[in-house]
Amino acid sequence: MTEGIAERTQRGVGRLNLYRPDFLLLVVDLMGVCVFAVEGALAAIRSNLDILGVLVISFATALGGGMIRDLMIGAIPPNSVRDWRYPATAFLGGGAVFFFYQLFQQVPLQLVITLDAAGLALCAIAGAGKAMEFGINPLLSVLMGAVTGVGGGTIRDILLNRVPGVLQSDVYAAAALAGALVVVIGLRLRVPRWMVMTSGAVVCFVLRMMAVWMHWNLPKVMVH
């Protein structure tokens, strides 16, 4: 019985959705959702959207990456459709920005970047970990971690009719990939889970912050 369930989860059959993040992971996850929702709302207000547009963009920015990942790995319905706390957090974050926009505008850019890097790190390691639990192979689990981290921002930019920033900006998706890679390697080597998750998050966060501080950029081909 237990063996059957374990096997099912591992092979990603997972329609019963036995995946239950523990409470700490949930809190951490919702913090990431909140940060991304706030950033989405700020972008939406600057694009002159009304309150509902702001909430839609908050929702898409905060939960879009995880939704794509869940559809891809077969965790259907996606977590954010099954658990009302995810959309509620996204809407709270977006609504707060709408009603207290003056306040949020005064948040120093440095803090926004730091929180965003933390959100990116949390999403990337959670995404990679969940993909591994659903039996996705290592290469694709790393990709799924990155998708979780950058997918929401990409959907936001598509909706606001911009070229997705993640395709252009300094080391952002690369940091998510690095963090996810650490998680996948760690889990394969059977390093304890908390240690794997912590180091993955640290790697992603530090890489991203250093890239911002030191103006790192990935190489480009010069097109004449």
Quick check: helix, strand or coil at residue 76?
coil
Q: End-to-end distance of the chain based on CA atoms, in angstroms?
A: 63
Closest-CA residue to 169 (of 157, 183, 181, 182): 157
Q: What is the smallest separation between the CB atom of 122 and its own copies, expressed in angstroms?
A: 20
Residue 109 is a binding residue for its own copies (CB under 8 A): no
Residue 106 is a binding residue for its own copies (CB under 8 A): no
Q: What is the smallest separation between the CB atom of 194 and its own copies, expressed in angstroms?
A: 27
Quick check: helix, strand or coil at residue 88?
helix
Residue 52 is a binding residue for its own copies (CB under 8 A): yes
Residue 139 is a binding residue for its own copies (CB under 8 A): yes
Residue 77 or 213 with smaller CB distance to its own copies: 77
Q: Which residues of 105-144 are buried (b: 16+ CB within 10 A; e: fewer)?
A: eeeeeeeeebbbbbbbbbbbbbbbbbbbbbbbeeebbbbb
Burial of 194: CB neighbours in 10 Å, binned 0-12, 13-18, 19+: exposed
Residue 56 or 128 with smaller CB distance to its own copies: 56
Residue 51 is a binding residue for its own copies (CB under 8 A): yes
**Contact set for its own copies, span 58-77 (CB under 8 A):** 59, 67, 71-74, 76-77
Asked if residue 90 lies in contact with residue 38, where contact means CB atoms within 8 angstroms, the answer is: no
Residue 98 is a binding residue for its own copies (CB under 8 A): yes
Q: Which amino acid is at 182?
A: V
Q: Tell me which residues touch its own copies (CB under 8 A).
A: 12-13, 15-16, 44-54, 56-57, 59, 67, 71-74, 76-78, 81-82, 84, 87-88, 98, 101, 134, 136-140, 143-144, 154, 158-164, 166-168, 173-174, 177, 217-221, 223
